A and B are shown apart, each in its own frame.
Chain A
Amino acid sequence: MSRFGIGFGRRKLSRRTVLRGAGVALALPWLEAFARRARGSEAGPPLRALFVMNNLGVLPGPFFPKETGRGYALSPLLEPLAALRDDVTVISGLSHPGVRGGHSTENCFLTGARGPTRSGFRNTVSLDQFAADAIGAQTRFPSINLGVNVDKANRSLAWTRDGALIPAEDKPSRVYERLFVAGSPEQVDARRRHLAARGSILDAVVDEARSLGRAVGPADRQRLDRFTTSLREVEERLHAEGAWEDRPRPVPSEPAPVDVADRTLPFKGYESMLAIARLALETDSTRLVTLLVDAFATPPFRLDEGAGLSVDDYHNLSHHGQDANRVAQLFEADLRQMTLLAGFLGALAERREGETRLLDRTIVLFGSNMGDSNSHDNTNLPILVAGGGFRHGGHLAFKADDNAPLSNLFVSILRRLGIEADAFASSTGTLAGLDG
């Protein structure tokens, strides 16, 4: 919440200090709340989202289907998704307007901020953080940002409102620990102290506003009332955050996925990260996960342990220059990526939550900032959307020479998440063809 948490002193604070003030109705974990709802009510399990991005994308030729609409023939790279084709929509003809500059566009994938190489550029809020502002308080973690082989200082999918990078987690074991193992007493205390530091000033500010409110006219008093109401809302959020510290952690269904320290095995790391993302989503620890696959920072790599190394690092490989061997290696890598995603989607489809499949309550977006890495093209981005209750099964094709804004898809996703957003970044509306 704050980039500058001034902690109070060194002594431990009592819990009462943190939780004093008005009693706050806390969000219950989803299952409890659901059980209390009347049967047949419209409210279902919550919607979640996972945003996956590979910053070198995929080979556009073998990825995009030739036909459009529902009856398209699966392209070579979409073959692994054959069993799931009714749960997936492949979209062509999307890009972020004004977001050009080769690899410099990667930090704009979820933000849509224009002109990343221009003087005066500052990134804007990313889709996940925008959504977290609305729904993040309902779970223990407002959002989780993951990365494979990621250059944490320079690349991220998640950006704050003031354009600051939120570093990705690159060790699944650490994420697992944060999700499912309670923090040390010192950590819990530090967190509480930060919340208390902010909480303590709110009462005093409300006092200031109240005393002022007694001396002004009715219109001004109304405005001050709104001010104090908002202060109370800030406080409620703090309480809600603090309360999570006292609630037991969920019990995961699986042990921690392995940490893959070997950077030459990006797909093994990829698989671990998808596993931890699934655990986070299915335990409702968070409803927003990003996963940046930093292919750019990946050295010459192997598809599996013991397999041969690629002829070049991932980035140079992507500039294949039509060299047959390089194209073939890239194709294998792309195919592996699609296979992993298919496995992940399949696992979500098997899990049930109430009456529905977890997949139907989880929006999965896969894409890239590169339409064609070979030529540094930032248009015609490869985009897949799965699950989340959208109307799937087709190839939605927008104009190749006059792309539709990718942010329109983001607005559709936000709406689907129950967030009343009319616009995001360069959107001009929602994306036609996904709803209905």
Chain B
Amino acid sequence: MQTSSGILPPPRRTGLWNAWAPALATSVATIVLVALVAAVVTSASKAAAEDRLAPLLPVITAACGTCHAGPEPAGGLSTEGLFRQGDSAASADLADRAVRDQLVRMHDRVAAGEMPPAPESLADDARRELVAALGSVVDAADRADIRAQGRVGLRRLNRHELEQSLRTLLELPDLDVADLLPEDRLRDGFPKSAEGLDLSRPQLEGTLDALDAALAAAIASGVQAPERKTFRAISTQLFGGTAYGEPEARYFAKGALPIEAPAVDDADVECAIFRSAYWPYHGYPAGFVATSPGRYRVRFRARAVCQQADRSLLPAPQPVPMTFRARAPSGPDVSGDVRAVGGLIDVTPDDAEYETTVVLRAGQTIEWSLLGLAVPLARNVDGGPPTYRFPPLPPGGHRGIALRSLEIVGPLPPGDGAWPPRSHQILFGDLPIQADAASALPVEVIPADPQDDSARLLRAFAERAFGREIHDDDVAPAERVVGAALAEGASFTAAMLAGYRVLLAGPEFLFVADPVGRVGGGEGDGGRDGRALAARLSLFLWNDRPDATLATAAREGRLADPAALAAETDRLIDDPRFERFVTMFTDHWLDLRHLRRDEPDARFFPEYRFDDYLLESLLAETRASVRALFRDDLPILALVDSDTLQVNDRLAEHYSLPPVRGSGVRPVPRPAGSPRGGLLTQGAILKVTANGTSTSPVKRGAWVMTRLLGEPPPPPPEKVPAVEPDIRGATSVRDLLARHTADATCAACHRRFDPVGFALEVFDVCGGERATYRGIALPGEAAVDVVTGIDRAGHDYAYRVGAAIDPRGSLADGTPFDDIRGLKHLLARRPRQLARNLVGLLTAYATGGPLRFSDRRHVEAILDAAEPEGFRVRALVRRFVVSPIFTGAPDPEASP
């Protein structure tokens, strides 16, 4: 405790964090007393620590001192350095986190029997005693540290949280400012760590830019709403220029038969497209471009068809999934952003009208992007002029859609259609606006009384932004800036924007505080802790500030009631905004953000060339599984295995399941004999754990042990090169890794995770099932082992069928398994460890700091309570949220 009565601040009421200061200031004497008691407690606990460790020092020296001493102690751990030899007792500087962390490692490895390496050098009794002593000493020190410093302290919002907060605050759902900020650093696996989220100059410059951009988007773009325009075209007017890949890529048809040069006004003509959006391509309507940014309503009439050898059209047996892409109309070469907009649409074989809404920037258009279709190959035969090779006709013909008409209307007025828009009203209320050619702003607001209006608006905005009652002090700095700007001759509007920037750039908006368990602890807290807890819950499950319901519950002190807190947790999980948790959590926990990192190597996996639809589907599958885990309160074992699969049409094909219709991922029962079910066998997981070219059992095994079980292998030894896969495919990875089992030093660690990876070898770099490896086919090689053809992007391919895959293995304890199913059975024996790992992940994600030693008892208590119900995940989240780990509730034990 470093608090000293001499430097206590004068009572102030400045906001979220120190609203309780007056209560303290009323009784300085109490503070002094508290500080004194704390000092006594601190020295008492130190003495206690020494008392417990001192008698064990000879034991530690004898058992560990051989290696962990001297100038180069093993593993960097020196018992001499850790325990200073005092006059009477051993003392470790327990206030130092690095020292505590070392003691925790010591505790864990001795407890697990891994240290000392020769088990007989530490008798069982001595081991138990040492573990108990280390545990209680570290536990006490850790709790003392939390009491003194708080758990994690102030945490900056990460860029997605800041963007979402601004979207909510200003009611601008399409605001796009996250990329103005530098990428947030990861700590403990997530961009949510109080220590990892730094406050550098570039960070702040980005923040100021983002605030400027948000305010610019909020103010009315003109005195009137932008004029709404309608664009209409029938099929013959739809596209200008070539489709790249003719004649198969796109043509006109009438009565299902191809026709050349139809009459421009012939409404019975269809324009049929048969290719995916990939360079070179422009699938946008001639003559439409968004003149102002905003939402546009798109309607079109189309049906799904199959192109026959004579180019006649048959109705497609399956819907064709598509989306629109927003981009600049820059011809076949893409310039700038390309975004999928308007969501997935399944075009069915019946002629029908479809409607969606797209968000466009000024200067953008939309183009059709048909998913999973052929891609014509642009090539130069013998270096000659470019030509296109359309892939060969598959059975049933080339899939595509036949378009009849298109209508685009917009920009649609934002929100409820009011003008000026809500975002403007949030800043300027109902003050009248006018255009001013001399102004840099699109409109100028006309105040009735600049003084009164600015004071009123600033307060209202601060109340909205901070979610609490506002005092004079809270808006004083902003008022000063507004006043100074007005005095300098700034317009009212410009001056107010400067004031808003002061409020938003300040720490109260950019940071969140640590709840410390004072919820409902009386008026002295001023509601601070309730707000902090509500903010933590909302940032956890929505990446956003609390909504009105949650804020009200906090204000009324209801979050102190565990049942009410759990009910709010459930409400947030059931809300559509929970998807933000699913995305960010899986992006980092399961590395889904790396899904597109490695291109599948077309030399070995031609079937995946340009298959963006597969990647999209894989992403949707894993997100759906994790969403179901939380929403449907599935048992933790669903992580490892499940009878329900989350698939769409493309995934049913990829996983050799009975066909399903449409692009939407939905739950289907697992057919008998399928190895799928659970995260391990999902393509997204199998892709992010491979490198696009080859799979490594070492990497996959280590990934599974780390991410799912929370048992990361120690770092690999230096100077041992990574195993290079054999691109000829002749030698199996198992043979290349033989040393991992033959050499005892390697085996000590590798036996814990290599076998898990071996079972996963039956899945290729995109999660497709396989029985053999593939290798490079050399020219002139005997054709017997070589597979050749033309892929869906028109490229010739040839690969060699290589060595067979052997998925057998045994766990570190010697239990054998035959294949992935057997492995899943064995992993399913460890639900408690799976659940323990999840609680650890949730802690780092939701609280901004990792699980601490003194949290372990809370974790075990959560697990004990969750065990009878089979560690159901939603219930686990509820228990976690009401635990002291999340609420920051003070330690029930006053002193050790």
Contact = CB atoms under 8 A, between A and B. Distances in A.
A230 B201 contact: yes
A63 B116 CA distance: 63
A117 B278 contact: yes
B716 to A, nearest CB: 18
B212 interface: yes
A102 B386 CA distance: 12
A358 to B, nearest CB: 30
B484 interface: yes
Contacts of B382: 322
A277 B478 CA distance: 44
Contacts of A201: 481, 498, 501-502, 505
B279 A208 contact: no
Interface stretch (B55-63, B333-341, B349-357): B333-341
Interface stretch (B82-90, B486-494, B668-676): B486-494
A223 B199 contact: yes
B199 A230 contact: yes
B9 interface: yes
A326 B339 CA distance: 38
Nearest to A202: B505
A375 B377 CA distance: 11
A120 B340 contact: yes
A319 B154 CA distance: 59
B744 to A, nearest CB: 33
B18 interface: yes
A93 to B, nearest CB: 18
B485 interface: yes
Interface in A209-229: 209, 211-212, 214-220, 223-224, 226-227
A117 B279 CA distance: 6
Given A214-B18, A376-B378, A4 B215 contact: yes
A291 B144 CA distance: 60
A5 B278 CA distance: 38
B330 interface: yes
Most buried by A among B280, B340, B485, B507: B507
Given A205-B477, A220-B150, A2 B279 contact: no
A366 B305 CA distance: 49
B323 interface: yes
Contact of B334 (A116, A215, A231, A234): A116
B204 A230 contact: yes
B426 interface: no
A154 interface: yes
A121 B194 CA distance: 30
Measured as residues with beta carbon below 8 angstroms from the partner, the interface class of chain B is 35 or more
A92 interface: no
A215 B12 contact: yes
A107 B154 contact: no
Contact of B485 (A9, A208, A227, A322): A9
Contacts of B384: 321-322
B338 A120 contact: yes
B815 to A, nearest CB: 39
B745 interface: no
B725 interface: no
A384 to B, nearest CB: 24
Contact of A7 (B149, B179, B205, B440): B440
Nearest to A296: B333
A165 B336 CA distance: 8
A162 B179 contact: yes
B213 A4 contact: yes
Most buried by B among A5, A13, A208: A208
A174 interface: no
A215 B14 contact: yes
Nearest to B155: A223
A1 B209 contact: yes
Contacts of A220: 17, 150, 153-154, 513
B69 to A, nearest CB: 33
A163 B336 CA distance: 8
B2 A218 contact: yes
Contacts of A114: 596
A312 to B, nearest CB: 11
A119 B325 contact: yes
A118 B384 CA distance: 27
B483 to A, nearest CB: 11
Contacts of A163: 179, 336-337
B14 A211 contact: yes
B180 interface: yes
Most buried by B among A13, A107, A197: A197
A209 to B, nearest CB: 5
A319 B386 contact: yes
A240 to B, nearest CB: 12
Interface in A310-348: 319, 321-322
A98 interface: yes
B18 A215 contact: yes
B17 A375 contact: no
B521 interface: no
Given A119-B340, A121-B337, A211-B12, A161 B180 contact: yes
A6 B441 contact: yes
A119 B323 contact: yes
Interface in A263-302: none
B206 interface: yes
Contacts of B12: 211, 214-215
Contacts of B386: 319, 375-376
A205 B480 CA distance: 11
A101 B380 contact: no
Contacts of A207: 477
B318 interface: no
12 contacts: A3-B213, A4-B209, A7-B494, A11-B488, A107-B336, A117-B278, A119-B339, A119-B612, A212-B18, A216-B17, A233-B201, A321-B384
- Nearest 5 A/B pairs, CB to CB: A215-B18, A11-B489, A162-B179, A9-B489, A204-B477
